[in-house]
Amino acid sequence: MAQLSAVGVTWYTWLEQGRPINVSAQVLESVARTLRLDPSERAHLFTLAGVPDLAASGPVEICEPAVRQLVEALDPYPASVVGPRYDILAWNRAEAALKGDYSTLPEGRRNTMWLVFTQPAWRDLLVDQDDLAYLVARFRGAMPEHLGEPAWIELVEELCSTSARFAELWERHDVAGATSRVKRFLHPEVGLVRLVTTSMLLSERPGARLIACTPADPEARAALTRLAELGPWRIDWALPDGERGIS
């Protein structure tokens, strides 16, 4: 395969081993094209080489059927799959009942960062403002692997220009890793819900995570049962001019 890409065998082996080597984006582009890498394999190649993929075009919209089935099987516990840029790739009915029906959003707006900093209904859900700081710190912690990628740059620039709160938190330069946390949601239909959120990396898609919420107390369990009866929460999304939701 290395010969097909006009790359030396030794060099290619070092790349697979993650050794520090000098390589240009053009060479990596040649490797990815010749080997017909899918988006995940391509992202892995550029990450190994420590080179930003300037041709990256935003969220990967495909989520494997087996992963989708797993997310659905977790119902009545809210669960979703998010990509490294926090794009929401899959979710179950419980997630839609708790946080809103993502299917009514344009695909490009199904992003946790964008939702929490531009949608009043989402902001009102979060009782603890420290959750916002933690979310931004985790996002910043993931960004070094995507420096120079247009989709990441555009999202940060948009959020900085539209959300003073995001801009303030972004300027702190805080970084955080994954951890299980108890999050408090104030839902308009069932009131306060305390849930333990757990994040797990998915080997099927580098950078993607399964996020599941389980009840932190009996009251939360009862609230989730009630939400299951109510079904998806239809939020009137506040979309930018010229953008329409999906009915």
Q: Is residue 3 part of a domain?
A: no
Q: Is residue 58 part of a domain?
A: no
User: With b meaning 16 or more CB within 10 Å and e meaning fewer, what string describes 119-154?
Assistant: beebeebbeeeebbbbbbbbbbebbebbeebebbee
Q: Is residue 157 part of a domain?
A: yes
pLDDT in tens, 66-111: 899 999 999 999 999 999 899 999 999 999 999 999 999 998 899 9
Q: Which of helix, strand or coil describes residue 186? A: strand
Q: Which of helix, strand or coil describes residue 102? A: helix
Please tell me whether residues 112 and 140 are part of one structural domain.
Answer: yes
Checking DSSP bridges between strand 88-91 and strand 181-187, what pairing results, if any? unpaired
Please tell me whether residues 125 and 72 are part of one structural domain.
Answer: yes
**Looking at the 3D structure of the chain, how many domains does it have?**
2
Q: What is the CA 110 to chain-centroid distance, rounded? A: 9
- The predicted structure's pLDDT at residue 60: 47
The answer, yes or no, to whether residue 218 has pLDDT greater than 50, is yes
Half-sphere exposure in the Cβ direction for 237 (13 Å, CA): 25
Whole-angstrom distance, CA of residue 216 vs CA of residue 184: 10
Helices H / strands E in the chain, number of each: 11, 5
Please tell me whether residues 197 and 153 are part of one structural domain.
Answer: yes
Q: Is residue 207 part of a domain?
A: yes
Half-sphere exposure in the Cβ direction for 57 (13 Å, CA): 2
Structural domain containing residue 21: 9-49
Checking DSSP bridges between strand 191-201 and strand 181-187, what pairing results, if any? antiparallel
Confidence class of residue 62 from pLDDT cuts 50, 70 and 90?
low
Omega cis (within 30) before 76? yes
- The predicted structure's pLDDT at residue 207: 79
- The predicted structure's pLDDT at residue 16: 64
Q: Is residue 246 part of a domain?
A: no
The answer, yes or no, to whether residue 5 has pLDDT greater than 70, is no
| Both tokens assigned to 119 | 């949608």
Q: Which of helix, strand or coil describes residue 239? A: coil
Please tell me whether residues 73 and 106 are part of one structural domain.
Answer: yes
Please tell me whether residues 105 and 172 are part of one structural domain.
Answer: yes
End-to-end CA distance of the chain: 47
Checking DSSP bridges between strand 209-215 and strand 88-91, what pairing results, if any? unpaired
Q: Residues 126, 116: contact at Cβ < 8 Å?
A: yes
Picking from 23, 4, 25, the residue whose alpha carbon sits closest to that of residue 15 is 23
Per the model's pLDDT, the better-predicted residue between 58 and 121 turns out to be: 121
Least confident of 61-65, 141-145, 197-201: 61-65
- The predicted structure's pLDDT at residue 33: 73
Backbone angles phi, psi at 67, to 5 degrees: -70, -40
CATH code for position 182? 3.30.450.180
Whole-angstrom distance, CA of residue 31 vs CA of residue 5: 5
The answer, yes or no, to whether residue 2 has pLDDT greater than 60, is no
Q: Is residue 85 part of a domain?
A: yes
Percent of the chain topping pLDDT 90: 55
Q: Is residue 100 part of a domain?
A: yes
Please tell me whether residues 115 and 212 are part of one structural domain.
Answer: yes
Written as one string, the DSSP assignment of 44-72 is HHHHHHT---TT--S------HHHHHHHH
